[in-house]
Chains A and B, each alone.
Chain A
């Protein structure tokens, strides 16, 4: 049987960057094929070439053995390739049927097309066990179901080969499991699935074969059952990496941050944090586990002084934080620093050169320049030193912030906050979109900070990260803190239940 996809000697350059270097890839029919690699390794570029977003500078694509020219997504669809993007391409105000029909309406009037879509949806649903109400408004569906609509869209257009780009980034563990079930059902029907991800656990769980990319090159393709996460990580980074950082047991010190009955509403008046109480002591890492969107972001923002809580008290080093101190400046002055969850929206100004982003929030510091002016030479010298210490690449303080990779941007933000000697550090999603090599570095830094007596409140949607780093773990669901565990006395299932809102009493 001819392979579903054969890529031969694909090359693609973006200006200075050689994003794909002589890439070869063979995906067999009826398999689930994983593609892993660090950020910027060229996985997304390769898939974009296959789906017709970009054109390769050179190289050949064969689908089912036939050479094809794919210049646009329409060409890709016509040879049976469908793609499910990380960010869904759905119209939230339309129904499932209307979304599936979009771009394939079949004529000026909708009625004929709609009947066809309904019949086809019913068939697909029964074939793959996809339970979905055809007339539901897409905006009302959960994220997991919206993803199914995306998959249905691709299948409706006759996709034989399905590319999924980081499909589990937005899913709960249970939703991810359901997705994997679906992928296996697709495979059983003879479909081919290409799965792009950076989560090695998922690769191990669902794929038949896995290809590893590093710096634009395809470095290996292996049978999943003959490999292991450490081996894949080593292939991705090019050297041995520790997936789990070592940390010594340590008695926490005095409480630094004490939060009592905190409630926060968002700009639309929705209660996002309900009656949350927690404390963070010197020299401990408290992790907050939870599915994204359950109030963790608002909790962090309230503690950092970016949002006013409607109820509750915050004590810092035993003293209640006064109203006039409860703003980003005031909290920084107290010694509470904040590595925000979303570095591009909050942590940096992407259009600024790095040395300007590296003082965001600290421009009042008189060391940065006299009077009303900022001394650029001093800022550049300061960032150059930090870039050395945190191994930021490239070491170019004048480069635009947006031109650094995710991991290097995060190092710039971390350096900015850590080097200001915080007493308490709030850390949101420290390794989101960060490559494995940098993750290891960031984790070591956080542990070192904890060992130096800093209290760290860590919010992350990566359960592994929470379990690896934390001394104590709190779970959040629907704005409430649903449980507390010592890190060494819990496991994934236990936390998963708490994250799903099954509280101690009920359990």
Chain B
């Protein structure tokens, strides 16, 4: 038993995460020292590669877009008390949905085809989230187990479909033919060029704006709407929800539908915005990192955007770092990411205590 730690809100939302990240970088720096490299050089390379150049920043924000979608997906389920491990599979199905729509409705003009493609991605992702949601709500099958299984089902299904059904007969790779040209979401450098502003070309596309809009919409939904109220009630206290006349089963399914649809956003960014075809393993772990993003962002959309940016920097800067300093491999960068997750997520309580102790004299003085 220990006394609850009460911190002012600014300390809770800004100071504690900042201290965690600094501590994580410090420990990661020690690891870099351990393999005989200079951590300051490594940090400089990491930051230069991710935010130092226009191109690097473009790639960083491209990854950020992926993390925002998967982070929001995990967060919405989390608010309903559900741990959705299945963003990976839901995004995979989202890719299938987008591909089916785009390849079959290629006669539509772009301004119709793009929204319909996005809806296709969201709908298929939602469906893949809804089934575990339904099983949890009606059969009590634990959502963690079912969503993990659905990740495997999704990956097996997509392999089968790409190898046997969707592949062009002439193509040796398990991928579809290219999406129709009018369905491709414009790259950011193209958009800027249209207004006469030149920025460095990168994968970054307009989906980034969609991700920010989605974050705002989810904030409105969770914190300002009746449905969000019901979702949070179920998440915090299902008994109170029953008392209030809110059906936890119904909310469970709705939250998983929303969660799956958001995970579909990953497919929109990766496929409609960049690859322009459906291919294997385009989700490459973003769904799982979304869990860390949501935890670090405390399931709040603004926190998720910031955490996504951090992970975007790590991804892009890490790739540059591995390239410039071969001693620091990609695996090393993964280790650094892991340390950040560990510090920001698991050890948060430790830092809360430290911050509280450091602030205590100031708080006492403020009272007196």
Contact = CB atoms under 8 A, between A and B. Distances in A.
Q: Which of B3, B224, B225 has the most chain A CB atoms closer than 10 A to its own CB?
A: B3
B243 A346 contact: yes
Interface string B185-223: 000000000000000000000000000000000001000
Nearest to B247: A327
B226 A363 contact: yes
27 contacts: A14-B3, A14-B6, A15-B6, A15-B363, A53-B1, A304-B243, A305-B245, A328-B242, A329-B245, A340-B243, A346-B239, A346-B240, A346-B242, A347-B243, A349-B232, A349-B237, A352-B236, A356-B229, A360-B244, A363-B229, A363-B244, A369-B226, A372-B225, A372-B227, A373-B220, A373-B225, A376-B224
Contact of B242 (A14, A306, A350, A373): A306
Q: Which of B6, B237, B245 has the most chain A CB atoms closer than 10 A to its own CB?
A: B245
Contacts, number: 73
A374 B4 contact: no
Given A345-B240, A346-B237, A372-B227, 16 more contacts: A14-B3, A14-B4, A328-B244, A332-B245, A348-B240, A349-B232, A352-B232, A360-B244, A363-B230, A372-B225, A372-B226, A373-B225, A374-B224, A374-B225, A374-B229, A376-B224
Interface of A: 14-16, 48, 53-54, 304-306, 327-329, 332, 338, 340, 345-352, 356, 360-361, 363-364, 369, 372-374, 376
B6 to A, nearest CB: 4
A350 B224 contact: no
Nearest to A15: B6
Interface string B34-72: 000000000000000000000000000000000000000
Nearest to B226: A363
B367 interface: yes
B49 to A, nearest CB: 41
Contacts of A364: 226
Q: Which of A16, A304, A329, A346 has the most chain B CB atoms closer than 10 A to its own CB?
A: A346
What 7 pairs across the A-B complex have the smallest Cβ distances? A328-B245, A361-B244, A329-B245, A15-B6, A346-B243, A351-B236, A372-B225
Given A349-B233, A352-B236, A360-B233, A306 B226 contact: no
Interface of B: 1, 3-4, 6, 220, 224-227, 229-230, 232-233, 236-237, 239-240, 242-245, 363, 367
Contact of B239 (A16, A345, A356, A363): A345
A396 B188 CA distance: 47
Nearest to B243: A346
A327 B239 contact: no
Contact of B224 (A304, A338, A373): A373
A321 B17 CA distance: 53
Contacts of B363: 15
A349 B243 contact: no
Contacts of A16: 6, 367
A304 B236 CA distance: 22
Contacts of A14: 3-4, 6
Nearest to B360: A15
Contacts of B3: 14, 54
Contacts of A338: 243
Given A328-B243, A329-B245, A360-B243, A350 B237 contact: yes
Given A14-B3, A332-B245, A361-B245, A350 B236 contact: yes
A376 B223 CA distance: 10
Contacts of B224: 373-374, 376
Nearest to B242: A306
A374 B224 CA distance: 6
A363 B224 CA distance: 12
A346 B245 CA distance: 11
Contacts of B240: 345-349, 360
Contacts of B243: 304, 306, 328, 338, 340, 346-347, 360-361
Nearest to B221: A372
Nearest to B5: A15
Contacts of A305: 245
